[in-house]
């Protein structure tokens, strides 16, 4: 699947990380997995990837330990859903870094309301990547709420790994 060299043996840890969580589709799938997507059709709708691209990335993410498959049944057909692992949860600061960098260097004129990261410990929003600048709590899965623009407007999503997401209603 990769159209580049395998960087898994690179001495630089940035390169080894990019090797696993540097692909754009993988990052978008990760964003959706941590905000509650579990099933193929959910990822397809939220990410907008073709079936081939999505199937290949999901398989790679399972092989790389970012997702685990869990069976569920819909009608008579057994199916697999994809649950983010601890390794996926640990990638949350990477996604927060993209958001913070984009707010600084690629602001959007149409992003309304703005994407915000909120700390559940104190309830404040923050532009930081790893720790809340208001209370110092770690910005990790389980302690972070995202409010997202576009069709996500009005919903705040509690990020989670390994289980169903919590959704708070009525936040901007």
Tokens at residue 4, please? 């580049």
Helix, strand and coil percent figures for the chain, each rounded to 5:
35, 20, 45
Residue labelled with tokens 């209370």: 135
The bridge status of strand 155-158 relative to strand 144-147 is antiparallel
Q: Is 127 in the site for Zn ion (CB under 5 A)?
A: no
14 binds Zn ion (CB under 5 A): no
* Interface residue with Zn ion, options 21, 29, 119, 157 (CB under 5 A): 119
- Please identify which residue in 14, 97, 135, 172 interacts with Zn ion, judged by CB under 5 A: 135
Among 10, 80, 121, 125, binds Zn ion (CB under 5 A): 121
Q: Show the tokens assigned to 100.
A: 């913070």
Is-contact 85 65, C-beta < 8 A?
A: yes
Size of the site for Zn ion (CB under 5 A): 7
DSSP 164: P
Residue 40 CA to its chain's centroid (Å): 15
Residue with Cβ nearer Zn ion (123 or 163)? 123
When asked if residue 138 is in the footprint of Zn ion (CB under 5 A), the reply is no
| Mask for 41-80, x = binds Zn ion (CB under 5 A) | ----------------------------------------
132 binds Zn ion (CB under 5 A): yes
Q: Which stretch binds Zn ion (CB under 5 A): 10-18, 25-33, 110-118, 120-128?
A: 120-128
**Alpha-carbon distances, residue 143 vs 76, 119, 131, 136 (angstroms):** 37, 6, 10, 12
User: Residue numbers of the site for Zn ion (CB under 5 A)?
Assistant: 119, 121-122, 132, 134-135, 137
């Amino acid at each position: 699947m990769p159209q580049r060299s395998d960087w898994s043996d690179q001495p630089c840890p940035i390169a080894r990380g990019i090797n696993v969580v540097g692909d754009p589709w993988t990052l978008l799938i990760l964003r959706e997995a941590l905000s509650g997507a579990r099933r193929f059709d959910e990822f397809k709708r939220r990410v907008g990837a073709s079936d081939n691209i999505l199937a290949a990335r999901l398989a790679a993410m399972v092989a790389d330990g970012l997702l685990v498959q869990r069976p569920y049944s819909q009608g008579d057909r057994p199916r697999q859903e994809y649950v983010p692992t601890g390794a996926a949860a640990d990638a949350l600061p990477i996604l927060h870094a993209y958001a913070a960098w984009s707010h600084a260097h690629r602001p959007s004129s149409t992003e309304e309301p703005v994407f915000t990261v909120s700390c559940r410990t104190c309830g404040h929003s923050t532009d930081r990547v790893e720790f809340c600048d208001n209370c110092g709590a770690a910005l990790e899965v389980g302690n972070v709420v995202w409010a997202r623009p576009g069709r996500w407007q009005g919903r705040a999503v509690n990020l989670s790994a390994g289980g169903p997401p919590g959704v708070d209603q009525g936040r901007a």
